[in-house]
């Protein structure tokens, strides 16, 4: 049975409270290894780390305000041979959704895996965050705590952020920021300014936690879902209005250089060798001149629409909306809007929601004989 509690933060030290909680998970043997984001020594960014010793968590921040990559890809690496010991992974909701999709695609395993999901306050572009850290005064610890407090306030009272940078596009329009299918949930959406924890009652007993209610959590979540859904619908409506013809679609991808950064960053695009990176799309040079004889001018590099449309076909049904494609794009193309808006249409048609449950089959990988 799942129980809920609130960890009181000593002197408002949220990060310290979280670190000691994660440390206890390792000490009490609830997990043997822990995958958790930690700050780099220069303090300008965070990245996932794999930890065994609880004393190595002094820079950990499960609510990392940056997301250099979707960690589902890391969990896929770590669980390729089904871990023999218990592995705890601290993931954001969109990373859990991507992991669920990868499990269903046979690319990751949940065996011996304990998912520690965090409420997501949103994330910043890596470059924006590094610049902000350079500009702010104080130790990196103080800066981290101030940013966390600011982001938290912005969740409870939207529009109150004092930071000069804004969330990533995908985060701005994300309305599924509460983890589902997590064994342990770490949350900041409650009124007492502590840390909300939801976990199995046995775990709570092992950790010596008292069961407590989290006041106001549900209201905060409901309010934020509503306001984010509104933003989301506005963005999608704007996109759909613009997509009148194939020319508009082509215009929207005008500066694409076919560098494949979006596909490398995408957790769902898991093929080891992508068809688009083979010789198929590097024909002998004579062919380009034959093409331009008939089509003048010829858009170079060629096959840009084909690439994005094919990726849409392969990914749209399982797109979890993490926006890594757009963050990775050196030309800042509106990829997350494209994939999520088109993905929503596809997912509704298939009655499928990526990352929602492990039992629901991926429509492209399943069939029923009763179907007609």
Partner 1 sequence: MAEFEPKIVAFLCNWCAYRGADLAGTSRFHYPANVRVVRFMCSGSIDPVYVLEALLNGADGVLIAGCHLGNCHYQDGNYKAKHRVQVLKKILGQVGIDEDRVWLRWIDASEGKLFSDTVHQMVAEIRAKGPNPMRKPWKVWQDTVGFHLPEIESELKK
Q: Which residues bind partner 1 (CB under 8 A)?
A: 240, 243-249, 275, 287, 290-291, 294-295, 305-306, 309-310, 312-314, 316-317, 341-342, 345-346, 349-350, 363-364, 367-369, 371-372
In the structure encoding, which two tokens stand for residue 185, read together?
């949930």
Residue 299 CB, nearest approach to partner 1 (Å):
8
Q: Give the length of the chain.
A: 372
Residue 287 CB, nearest approach to partner 1 (Å):
7
Between 2 and 290, whose beta carbon lies closer to partner 1? 290
Compute CA distances 310 → 90, 239, 276, whole Å. Answer: 32, 19, 10
Residue 331 CB, nearest approach to partner 1 (Å):
18
Residue 326 CB, nearest approach to partner 1 (Å):
17
Torsion of CA 82, 86, 91, 93, to 10 degrees: 80
**DSSP label at residue 58:** T
Between 40 and 291, whose beta carbon lies closer to partner 1? 291
**Cα–Cα distance for residue pair 260/308, rounded to 1 Å:** 10
Contact 314, 339 (CB under 8 A): no
Residue 232 CB, nearest approach to partner 1 (Å):
16
Residue 178 CB, nearest approach to partner 1 (Å):
28
- End-to-end CA separation in angstroms for the chain: 41
In the structure encoding, which two tokens stand for residue 239, read together?
């996109």
Residue 352 CB, nearest approach to partner 1 (Å):
10
In the structure encoding, which two tokens stand for residue 52, read together?
């065994």
For every residue of 281-345, DSSP letters joined together read GS--THHHHHHHHHSSS--SSS-HHHHHHHHHHHHGGG-----HHHHH-TT---HHHHHHHHHHH
Residue 104 CB, nearest approach to partner 1 (Å):
15
For every residue of 64-100, DSSP letters joined together read -SB-SS-THHHHHHHTTT--SS-EEEEE-HHHHHHHH
Between 198 and 340, whose beta carbon lies closer to partner 1? 340
Between 10 and 361, whose beta carbon lies closer to partner 1? 361
In the structure encoding, which two tokens stand for residue 217, read together?
């959590």
Between 78 and 253, whose beta carbon lies closer to partner 1? 253
Between 165 and 243, whose beta carbon lies closer to partner 1? 243
| Side-chain half-sphere exposure of 114, counting CA atoms within 13 A | 22
Between 164 and 345, whose beta carbon lies closer to partner 1? 345
Between 146 and 276, whose beta carbon lies closer to partner 1? 276
């Amino acid at each position: 049975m799942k129980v809920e509690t609130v960890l009181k933060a000593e002197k408002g030290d949220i990060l310290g409270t979280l670190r000691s909680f994660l440390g206890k998970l390792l000490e009490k043997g609830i997990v043997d290894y822990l995958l958790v984001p930690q700050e780099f020594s220069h303090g300008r960014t965070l990245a996932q780390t794999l930890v065994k010793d609880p004393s190595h968590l002094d820079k950990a921040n499960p609510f990392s305000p940056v997301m250099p990559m979707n960690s589902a890809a890391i969990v896929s690496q770590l669980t390729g041979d089904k871990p023999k010991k218990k592995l705890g992974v601290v993931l954001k909701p969109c990373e859990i959704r991507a992991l669920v999709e990868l499990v269903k695609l046979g690319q990751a395993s949940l065996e011996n895996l304990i998912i520690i999901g965090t409420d997501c306050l949103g994330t910043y572009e890596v470059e924006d965050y590094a610049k902000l850290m350079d500009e702010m005064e104080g130790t990196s610890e103080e800066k981290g705590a101030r940013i966390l407090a600011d982001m938290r306030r912005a969740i409870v009272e939207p529009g109150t952020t004092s930071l000069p940078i804004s969330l990533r596009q995908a985060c701005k329009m994300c309305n599924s920021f509460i983890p589902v299918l997590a064994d342990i949930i770490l949350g900041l959406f409650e009124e007492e300014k502590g840390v909300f924890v939801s976990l199995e009652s046995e775990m709570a007993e092992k950790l010596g936690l008292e069961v407590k209610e989290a006041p106001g959590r549900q209201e905060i979540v409901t309010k934020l879902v509503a306001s984010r859904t509104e933003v989301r619908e506005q963005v999608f409506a704007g996109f759909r209005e613009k997509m009148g013809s194939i020319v508009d679609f082509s215009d929207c991808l005008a500066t694409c250089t076919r560098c494949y950064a979006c596909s490398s960053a995408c957790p769902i695009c898991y093929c080891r060798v992508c068809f688009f990176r083979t010789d198929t799309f590097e024909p002998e040079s004579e062919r380009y001149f034959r093409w331009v004889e008939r089509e003048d001018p010829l858009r170079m590099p060629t096959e840009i629409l084909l690439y994005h449309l094919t990726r849409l076909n392969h990914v749209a049904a399982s797109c979890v909306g993490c926006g890594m494609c757009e963050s990775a794009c050196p030309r800042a193309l509106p990829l997350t809007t494209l994939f999520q808006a088109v993905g929503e249409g596809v997912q509704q048609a298939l009655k499928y929601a990526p990352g929602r449950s492990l039992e629901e089959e991926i429509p492209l990988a399943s069939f029923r004989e009763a179907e007609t």
